[in-house]
Amino acid sequence: MPKMTNLVKQILASMDGTVYPFAKSRHPVLLNDHLLQGKMPEPVNVSMNPGAAVDMKALSAQMAAAASDVIAPFVDRFMQLYHKS
């Protein structure tokens, strides 16, 4: 999931300041605001200490759930924009 999150961040950085061309209101909407209608999940710190009790499967599932709530809708809106243009 960190790779997907980084790819989304790179896409957003490349479109920083671009206005969404299909806005229905008269007020300009930034493309990043249209595409990312949530907050990117924060990275989870994992201790490399062997004594730290961390369930990696549970941590991975938590990260995937948090990322999918934002990344899947982002990709859907990005593809819709692609097909409109």
Please give the Cα distance from 11 to 17 (Å, whole number).
12
- At residue 63, the pLDDT reads 81
Q: How far apart are the first and last CA of the chain?
A: 29
Model pLDDT for residues 16-25, shown as the tens digit of each residue: 899 998 888 8
| Structural domain count of the chain | 1
Please give the Cα distance from 1 to 76 (Å, whole number).
17
Tokens 């909407």 sit at which residue?
29
**Residues of the domain holding 19:** 2-43+55-84
Model pLDDT for residues 28-66, shown as the tens digit of each residue: 989 998 998 878 777 666 666 665 556 777 777 888 888
The one-letter amino acid at 8: V
32 domain residue, yes or no: yes
65 domain residue, yes or no: yes
34 domain residue, yes or no: yes
50 domain residue, yes or no: no
Q: Write down the pTM of the prediction.
A: 0.69
Q: Are the beta carbons of 65 and 34 closer than 8 angstroms?
A: no
The 10 Å Cβ neighbour count of residue 35 is 20
